[in-house]
Copies of this chain bind each other. A is one copy, B any other.
């Protein structure tokens, strides 16, 4: 059993009509729901509104992999929470998967040691293709190459991350945008995966291939194998 904590800040879901339209049940619930279809995964959820921000020592002691989605509320996550997450990954080997705008979350920047900045073109939204660079990697298992995403926020280089241990996916956007979209790292005893798709106004976490990548990443981050 892999114990997964799905953490989404859940701010825009309360106020933006386009986000509500994309995720009427709120994004953390969407993600939790598709993960729960796998009997080997147990899922809990948390948001900025949870007691202690949903991240206590007790919770983390009972968590194998965290999925982290944040955007406008990065600054509302206290540094002590970030330190708890950091220690769980580096010292205890918890896995963490940072999704989309969590590229700029405190925990991701803490683990990378760089600014994690990126560029956004104008217009900001475009068609995307997600290309597999390591077809033998477990996160790419069973994933078509490329994955087509009808419309996404276009993230662009320069993406200020350390060179990944394994660059599993690269995204190309209409108008020749380019972005390292699936980047795998060892950090201390734990594993980190950054995965770009998932802008809040498009229901991308309902797309089968994206769900499959997240499934694969959850297993990989816990040193297990999906479908074994």
| Given contact pairs A162-B185, A173-B176, A176-B128, A191 touches B228 in the complex (Cβ within 8 A) | no
Name the contact of A131 in the complex, choosing from B111, B141, B157, B187 (C-beta under 8 A).
B157
* Residue pair A187, B172 in contact (C-beta under 8 Å): no
| Given contact pairs A114-B90, A225-B228, A188 touches B160 in the complex (Cβ within 8 A) | yes
* Residue pair A90, B186 in contact (C-beta under 8 Å): no
Complex Cα gap A135–B166 (Å): 17
Please name the residue on chain B nearest to A138 by beta carbon: B223
In the complex, the count of this chain's copies comes to 4
Q: Which residues of B contact A175 (CB under 8 A)?
A: 174
Q: Is A113 an interface residue (CB 8 A)?
A: yes
Q: Which residues of B contact A172 (CB under 8 A)?
A: 172-173, 176-178
* Residue pair A158, B136 in contact (C-beta under 8 Å): no
Q: Which residues of B contact A170 (CB under 8 A)?
A: 157, 170, 178, 180
* Residue pair A178, B136 in contact (C-beta under 8 Å): no
| Given contact pairs A90-B115, A166-B165, A228-B224, A158 touches B133 in the complex (Cβ within 8 A) | yes
A121-146 interface with B by 8 A CB criterion = 127-129, 131-138, 141, 145-146
* Residue pair B127, A176 in contact (C-beta under 8 Å): yes
Complex Cα gap A141–B173 (Å): 25
Q: Which residues of B contact A208 (CB under 8 A)?
A: none
Q: Which residues of B contact A127 (CB under 8 A)?
A: 176
* Residue pair A158, B132 in contact (C-beta under 8 Å): yes
Name the contact of A223 in the complex, choosing from B90, B141, B157, B173 (C-beta under 8 A).
B141
Name the contact of A136 in the complex, choosing from B156, B190, B228 (C-beta under 8 A).
B190
Known: A134-B186, A228-B228. 12 other contacts (CB 8 A): A90-B114, A113-B113, A129-B176, A131-B156, A133-B159, A136-B188, A163-B166, A167-B167, A172-B177, A178-B178, A224-B225, A225-B225
Task: Identify the A interface with B (CB < 8 A).
Answer: 90-91, 93, 110-115, 127-129, 131-138, 141, 145-146, 156-160, 162-163, 165-167, 170-178, 180, 185-191, 223-225, 228
